[in-house]
Amino acid sequence: MRRISVKLKDRSYTISCGTDQWEKELILQAKKNADKSARIFVIYDAKVFALYGQQISKALKRTGIMFDELVLPSGEQTKSVSQLNKVYSYLLDNKVTRNDFLLACGGGVISDFTGYVAATILRGVKWGILSTTLLGMVDAAIGGKTGINHKAGKNLIGAFWQPSFVICGTIFLNTLSPRLIISGLGEVVKYVGLIGQKMNGILDKYVEQGDLYDQACLSQLIYQSAKYKAEIVSRDEREGNIRMVLNLGHTFGHAIEKSLGYGKLQHGEAVIIGLLAAVELSERTKKSRIRSLSSYKQTIIRFLEMIPKYKISINDVITHTGVDKKRKGKQLIFVLLNKPGMPIKCDVKKNLLKPSLKAALKEYEKRRLRCQGF
Ligand SMILES: NC(=O)c1ccc[n+]([C@@H]2O[C@H](COP(=O)([O-])OP(=O)(O)OC[C@H]3O[C@@H](n4cnc5c(N)ncnc54)[C@H](O)[C@@H]3O)[C@@H](O)[C@H]2O)c1
């Protein structure tokens, strides 16, 4: 597996990704990061447990470290206070100590949730992630943002708490639905905007070969995405400055998700529409060089055809854009593009939001759902 470092002094850690055996890497990282006398509490997504539980247990047995397994329901509702209480009770009833280690096995829901448990129980214990979704591998598992949802909004309760390792085995993606692969690709398309030409070339190759599940291509896309995010997090762990660039397409994306009601569009699907709106906004604010974004726009549009169609209300989205939790006072800070590979943060005039969003939604509505693949 290829390794990437997130460099945060004494909280530095490794992200391992690739097509080859994740079991070997899990044994190695567990032995390296969990104390021999500790217990590992494995927190599974239910689907992941059904598909891979046996293999994961078998690998953990080979570490010689004691472990306990806990299976949580799949889905966003797991990121809740009630589920949190159940898991706190389970761990405390089982006499968890500060020496113990939590291992998240699943996608973004399980890593956000487990990370928050790790950050808060006994004032913090160590944890690691075996990531099993594309969105997890390119985004959610990296950077230490952990949390749960509140009825006022998603991810409003949380903490920065870095894991001790992240493992991204592309083989897990074979059992993921095409829709969830495409949702993960939403974040990959974001990295094309942030990184530029090199990443665009890798994505083009992937699309051209035509197989959504191609292991070699996915592995390259994951590696480049994770490497970019790791570098940004290493420079700005708590999103004081540069880490904000990772929000490209997300202000609109979150607002679209919220306006539809959660559970309709997947996160990464909404991000794809949000990216197009951000590109439109970059052009309207004259922050981008003339025609520098036209090819990136075509890349985004290619993915619009793979997203299910919903009627999206522009006014609702605009309302939710204004209440994005990343706003600063009255300012509306957006991440825009000067050109692919050159993101910039901008305070944007409110009257430019509507036409930008309108143009993006027109494109989305115009595209028929072709298929969930290339
Ligand atoms: N912390 C961060 O920086 C960050 C960033 C982006 C998103 N997120 C969070 O991530 C979550 C979304 O993540 P997600 O898309 O991975 O969703 P998810 O964790 O809900 O997984 C999606 C679905 O895939 C299933 N699944 C997982 N692995 C599988 C596999 N290998 N094979 C078959 N099915 C599998 C799960 O059971 C679930 O039904 C959201 O809660 C979002 O807020 C966090």
Buried b (16+ CB within 10 A) or exposed e, 30-47: beebbeeebbbbbbbbbb
d(CA 285, CA 105): 43
Q: Report the pLDDT averaged over residues 118-128.
A: 98
> Across-strand partners of 44?
71, 105
Question: What is 2-175's CATH number, 1.10.10.60, 3.30.70.270, 3.20.20.370, 3.40.50.1970?
Answer: 3.40.50.1970
More confident residue, 218 or 152: 218
CB-neighbour burial class of residue 163 (10 A; exposed 0-12, middle 13-18, buried 19+): buried
User: Does the C-beta of 143 come closer than 6 Å to ligand 1?
Assistant: yes
Q: Give the pLDDT band of residue 286 (cuts 50, 70, 90).
A: confident
Active site residue 254: yes
Q: Report the pLDDT averaged over residues 302-309.
A: 93
Q: Give the pLDDT band of residue 103 (cuts 50, 70, 90).
A: very high
% of the chain residues with pLDDT over 90 = 88
**Domain(s) of CATH 1.20.1090.10: residues in the chain:** 178-208+237-366
CB 148 within 8 A of CB 56: no
User: Does the C-beta of 108 come closer than 6 Å to ligand 1?
Assistant: yes
Ligand 1 pocket check: which of 55, 76, 130, 132 to mutate, most ligand atoms within 8 Å of Cβ? 132
**Domain(s) of CATH 3.40.50.1970: residues in the chain:** 2-175
| 374 has pLDDT over 80 | no
Active site residue 179: no
Q: Report the pLDDT averaged over residues 262-283.
A: 95
Closest C-alpha residue for ligand 1 atom 21? 107
| 325 has pLDDT over 60 | no
Residue 323: its pLDDT value, please? 53
User: Backbone phi, then psi, for 58, in 5-degree steps?
Assistant: -60, -45
Residue 236: its pLDDT value, please? 97
> Across-strand partners of 66?
39
Tokens 């979150």 found at: 254
For residue 323, what are its two tokens? Answer: 């209440």
d(CA 310, CA 296): 24
Catalytic position from the list 126, 190, 227, 250? 250
Residue 332: its pLDDT value, please? 83
Active site residue 151: no
Pairing of the two strands 165-169 and 153-160:
unpaired
pLDDT digits (tens, 9 = 90+) for 204-240: 999 999 999 999 999 999 999 999 999 999 999 999 9
pLDDT digits (tens, 9 = 90+) for 28-81: 999 999 999 999 999 999 999 999 999 999 999 999 999 999 999 999 999 999
Closest C-alpha residue for ligand 1 atom 25? 47
pLDDT digits (tens, 9 = 90+) for 174-190: 999 999 999 999 999 99
Q: Report the pLDDT averaged over residues 285-310.
A: 90
pLDDT-wise least confident of 15-19, 101-105, 132-136, 259-263: 259-263
Q: Distance, CA 140 to ligand 1 centroid (Å)?
A: 8
Active site residue 155: no
d(CA 265, CA 273): 10
Superfamily of domain 178-208+237-366: Dehydroquinate synthase-like - alpha domain (1.20.1090.10)
pLDDT digits (tens, 9 = 90+) for 341-356: 999 999 998 889 999 9
Active site residue 237: no
CB 324 within 8 A of CB 278: no
| 324 has pLDDT over 80 | no
Average pLDDT, the chain: 94
CA trace torsion 7, 201, 373, 131 (10° rounding): -10
Residue 368: its pLDDT value, please? 74
Q: Distance, CA 292 to ligand 1 centroid (Å)?
A: 33
| 334 has pLDDT over 80 | yes
Q: Distance, CA 284 to ligand 1 centroid (Å)?
A: 34
DSSP 3-state of 49: helix
Active site residue 39: no
Q: Give the pLDDT band of residue 266 (cuts 50, 70, 90).
A: very high
Q: Give the pLDDT band of residue 330 (cuts 50, 70, 90).
A: low
User: Does the C-beta of 114 come closer than 6 Å to ligand 1?
Assistant: no
* SS (HEC) of 310-323: CCCCHHHHHHHHHC
Q: Distance, CA 206 to ligand 1 centroid (Å)?
A: 22
Residue 32: its pLDDT value, please? 97
Q: Distance, CA 37 to ligand 1 centroid (Å)?
A: 31
From residue 197, alpha-carbon distances to 200, 223, 274, 339 in Å are: 5, 16, 20, 10
